[in-house]
């Protein structure tokens, strides 16, 4: 058996119900560690406050003054369900603090979790600038026995490169580097932290891997598989997960285009094919295309890695292209109902890349609405949470604070995000204020029959 497979096998034993059920934060043999989390984005803040809830003593380091002072006053700079309450409780319990000084933050801690962003660079590969800056600092300041845990999504080989850098530039061969990818969904990140499907810990040192496993086991209330492996495998697992998820959504979006043509309901097909456990029910909702802070950039890095090694990855490339076509498909649906886009007034509900987040990063709304505006449409949009970037990313839209306002005098309504609030709107009232009763429900969240009763020309994704 290969060393790597042995590790994965061992991790299965390690994650038995017994070992986890005994890991109560208050009574078990495991003890709380001092932990530093670098970066207070959604991953860092959730991880820091989650570890504090597990019973660890956590310092979360954030260099942005505005973000830091918000967090210190118990407010969250972005929308993430349940996070504010968790942060407030852990701060008042004295287990969580926010700090600007990195040197102070890592003082006396057992493990340093790095969660800084790795956005796409212009060439599509992951931009490691923020990470490199911190690594350079840590190589001089971390102490023997401390463990560096890379939680940021990093290209395959990064953890080992950092380990080498530590040895060569800081004389810190005694610092172990571990990769521990995150699988937190925005909008469900607190839930996901406490209810993970799996925990992946990559590294070369058994001791370091065990320490990180214990940090998690401290607070787990039910058995969770912990897979231990080497760093490159852990790094690849993260990319493979997100590329696969994008592929699955990409497939169902194409299926929907075909179903539309032949008059078959995609939702029905998806539900039935998903009953086969080899396929699974989740991630089979057709929509306006996938977006967000992870899937698009991880797909680009994955393709870029393949290219750099001469491995042409046809499926991810096709998935990426199909997603662009999905944006265009939604635009065409609006056009086919509204008629001439030039001068048309389009009421838009939802701007974020999915519901329950304020995040607009790579939201399908950006290309779709940009195309509408470029072709002369007037776009009036409502979103309950989209953050202040809206004006920068979509300068041409007129944003309103009341969803009903988007409908007044409009030629077509367009739903781009599956906020549940939109299902509760009075669609009869909306229909009365519109100029032309057209609606494109790009998330399939409304009942077609009801909308038709109100006199709407209703179009969805794959249900027509």
**At a CB cut-off of 8 Å and minimum separation 6, what does 442 contact?**
287, 288, 330, 333, 364, 414, 415, 416, 460, 461
Which of 39, 203, 219, 291 is close enough to bind ligand UDX by CB under 6 A?
291
Report, in Å, the least distance between residue 277 CB and ligand UDX.
Answer: 17
Which of 283, 400, 436, 457 is close enough to bind ligand UDX by CB under 6 A?
283
Nearer to ligand UDX, 72 or 185 (CB): 185
233 is a site residue for ligand UDX (CB under 6 A) = no
Report, in Å, the least distance between residue 279 CB and ligand UDX.
Answer: 13
295 is a site residue for ligand UDX (CB under 6 A) = yes
Active-site annotation holds for 259: no
32 is a site residue for ligand UDX (CB under 6 A) = no
Nearer to ligand UDX, 231 or 417 (CB): 417
Which of 220, 284, 303, 369 is close enough to bind ligand UDX by CB under 6 A?
284
Query: Which part of the chain contacts ligand UDX (CB under 6 A), choosing from 142-150, 290-298, 343-351, 448-456?
Result: 290-298
CA-based end-to-end distance of the chain: 52
Query: Which part of the chain contacts ligand UDX (CB under 6 A), choosing from 58-66, 180-188, 375-383, 431-439?
Result: 180-188
242 is a site residue for ligand UDX (CB under 6 A) = yes
249 is a site residue for ligand UDX (CB under 6 A) = yes
Which of 302, 327, 353, 458 is close enough to bind ligand UDX by CB under 6 A?
353
Which of 91, 184, 256, 412 is close enough to bind ligand UDX by CB under 6 A?
184
Nearer to ligand UDX, 284 or 349 (CB): 284
Of the listed 36, 60, 259, 294, which one is catalytic? 294
Report, in Å, the least distance between residue 301 CB and ligand UDX.
Answer: 13
Report, in Å, the least distance between residue 363 CB and ligand UDX.
Answer: 7
245 is a site residue for ligand UDX (CB under 6 A) = yes
Nearer to ligand UDX, 49 or 410 (CB): 49
Query: Which part of the chain contacts ligand UDX (CB under 6 A), choosing from 96-104, 279-287, 367-375, 384-392?
Result: 279-287
368 is a site residue for ligand UDX (CB under 6 A) = no
- List the catalytic residues: 294
Question: Which residues bind to ligand UDX, rule: CB under 6 A?
Answer: 182-186, 242, 245, 249, 283-285, 287, 290-295, 353-354
């Amino acid at each position: 058996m290969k060393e790597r497979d042995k590790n994965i096998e061992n991790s299965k034993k390690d994650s038995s119900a017994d070992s986890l059920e005994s890991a109560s934060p208050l009574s078990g043999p495991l003890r709380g560690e001092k932990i530093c989390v670098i970066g207070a984005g959604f991953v860092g803040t959730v991880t820091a406050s989650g570890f504090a809830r597990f019973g660890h003593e956590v310092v979360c380091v954030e260099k942005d003054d505005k973000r830091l002072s918000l967090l210190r006053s118990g407010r969250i700079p972005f929308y993430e369900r349940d996070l504010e309450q968790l942060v407030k409780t852990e701060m008042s319990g004295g287990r969580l603090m926010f700090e600007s000084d990195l040197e102070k933050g890592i003082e006396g801690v057992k493990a340093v979790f790095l969660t800084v962003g790795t956005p796409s660079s212009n060439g599509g590969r992951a931009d490691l600038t923020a990470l490199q800056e911190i690594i350079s600092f840590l190589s001089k300041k971390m102490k023997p026995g401390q463990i560096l845990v890379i939680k940021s999504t990093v290209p395959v080989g990064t953890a080992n490169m950092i380990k080498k850098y530590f040895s060569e530039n800081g004389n810190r061969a005694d610092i172990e580097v571990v990769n521990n990818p995150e699988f937190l969904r925005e909008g469900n990140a607190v839930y996901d932290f406490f209810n993970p499907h799996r925990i992946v810990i990559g590294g070369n040192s058994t001791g370091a891997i065990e320490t990180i496993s214990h940090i998690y086991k401290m607070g787990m209330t039910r058995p969770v598989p912990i897979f231990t492996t080497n760093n490159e495998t852990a790094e690849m697992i993260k990319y493979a997960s997100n590329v696969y998820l994008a592929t699955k959504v990409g497939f169902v979006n194409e299926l929907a285009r075909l179903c539309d043509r032949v008059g078959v309901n995609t939702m029905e097909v998806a539900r039935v094919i998903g009953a086969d456990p080899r396929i699974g029910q989740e991630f089979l909702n057709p929509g306006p295309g996938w977006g967000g802070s992870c899937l698009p950039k991880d797909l680009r890095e994955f393709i870029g890695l393949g290219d750099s090694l001469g491995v042409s990855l046809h499926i991810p490339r096709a998935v990426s292209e199909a997603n662009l076509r999905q944006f265009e498909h939604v635009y065409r649906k609006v056009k086919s109902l509204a008629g001439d886009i030039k001068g048309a007034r389009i009421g838009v509900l939802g701007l974020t890349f999915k519901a329950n987040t304020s995040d607009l990063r790579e939201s399908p709304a950006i290309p779709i609405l940009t195309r509408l505006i470029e072709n002369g449409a007037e776009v009036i949009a409502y979103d309950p949470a989209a953050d202040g970037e809206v004006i920068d990313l979509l300068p041409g839209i007129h944003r309103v604070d009341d969803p009903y306002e988007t409908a007044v005098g409009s030629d077509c309504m367009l739903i781009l995000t599956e906020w549940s609030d939109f299902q509760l709107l009075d669609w009869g009232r909306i229909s009365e204020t519109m100029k032309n009763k057209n609606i494109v429900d790009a998330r399939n969240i409304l009942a077609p029959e009801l909308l038709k009763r109100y006199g709407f020309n209703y179009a969805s994704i794959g249900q027509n």
